[in-house]
Amino acid sequence: MTDAPHESAARADDTDTAPETPQEGAAESAGAAPGGDADGTAGSERPSRVERLEAEGDIAADYLEELLDIADLDGDLDIDVEGDRAVVSVVGADLTQLVGRDGEVLEALQELTRLAVYRETGERSRLMLDISGFRAQRKVELERVAAEAVAQARETGEKVSLAAMSPFERKVVHDAVAAAGLASESEGVEPRRFVVVLPG
């Protein structure tokens, strides 16, 4: 869960984040969604935020299934909603080539999948893609790094700067630091942007 004091830092840092107006976004998405109210049958019914995110997950899953077929790869797809984004996970026997070094291929596939969702909905997506549990494992590692940085900041009373990270990684650290009761901010320029944990 994200705490209010650090939301601006985390969201500004998460460069793939769409404008944070969930209600407006849901309303706009409802109007732009395929099969909308053109016939007037569903006049006042607009999809809820969760329904909209589930629809994004379905579109993404269809796109990824086609991609796996083209690449002749076996993979199972799992669709979920976490917070304010859809999450699609692909698991299979050996999908490491779809992750790449430090998740570089995974990042590219995520952007392509978001474009596929945008093409169908007309709305920018914050969908998160995970392959073979790479992001889940990385999240656990980053939460440990954040906990160590929080402990160091409390002990020394000084700022603690971490290594350069991707927007996804920085967001995980921001959330973990906030959950521990401290604040954090991002500094530097992509691709060398990094998190600084501030003492209490």
Query: pLDDT, tens digit, for every residue of 7-62?
Result: 334 434 444 443 333 333 333 333 334 444 444 444 457 789 899 999 999 999 99
- Same structural domain, 120 and 144: no
pLDDT on residue 200: 79
**Residues 6+ away with beta carbon under 8 Å from 118:** 124, 125
- Same structural domain, 89 and 52: yes
- Same structural domain, 160 and 178: yes
Q: Is the peptide bond before 5 cis (omega within 30 degrees of 0)?
A: no
pLDDT on residue 34: 44
Average confidence (pLDDT) over 158-187: 96
Please report, rounded to a whole number, the percentage of residues in the chain having pLDDT higher than 90: 66
- Predicted confidence band at 1 (pLDDT cuts at 50, 70, 90)? very low
Judge whether residue 151 has pLDDT over 50: yes
Share the mean pLDDT of the chain: 82
> 116 lies in a domain?
yes
> 151 lies in a domain?
yes
> 1 lies in a domain?
no
Burial (0-12, 13-18, 19+ Cβ within 10 Å), 181 = exposed
- Give per-residue burial for 141-158: e unless 16+ CB within 10 Å, then b: ebbebbeebbeebeeeee
Domain boundary, last residue among 132, 159, 175:
132
CATH of the domain at 82: 3.30.300.20
Rounded-to-integer distance, Cα 29 and Cα 120, Å: 11
- Same structural domain, 124 and 143: no
pLDDT on residue 30: 38
Rounded-to-integer distance, Cα 14 and Cα 185, Å: 11
Domain boundary, last residue among 107, 132, 157:
132
Phi–psi pair at 83, nearest 5 degrees:
65, -120
Domain boundary, last residue among 81, 98, 132:
132
Structural domain span for residue 103: 48-132
Judge whether residue 65 has pLDDT over 70: yes
Q: What is the CA radius of gyration of the chain?
A: 19
Rounded-to-integer distance, Cα 195 and Cα 161, Å: 6
pLDDT on residue 44: 52
Average confidence (pLDDT) over 105-124: 96
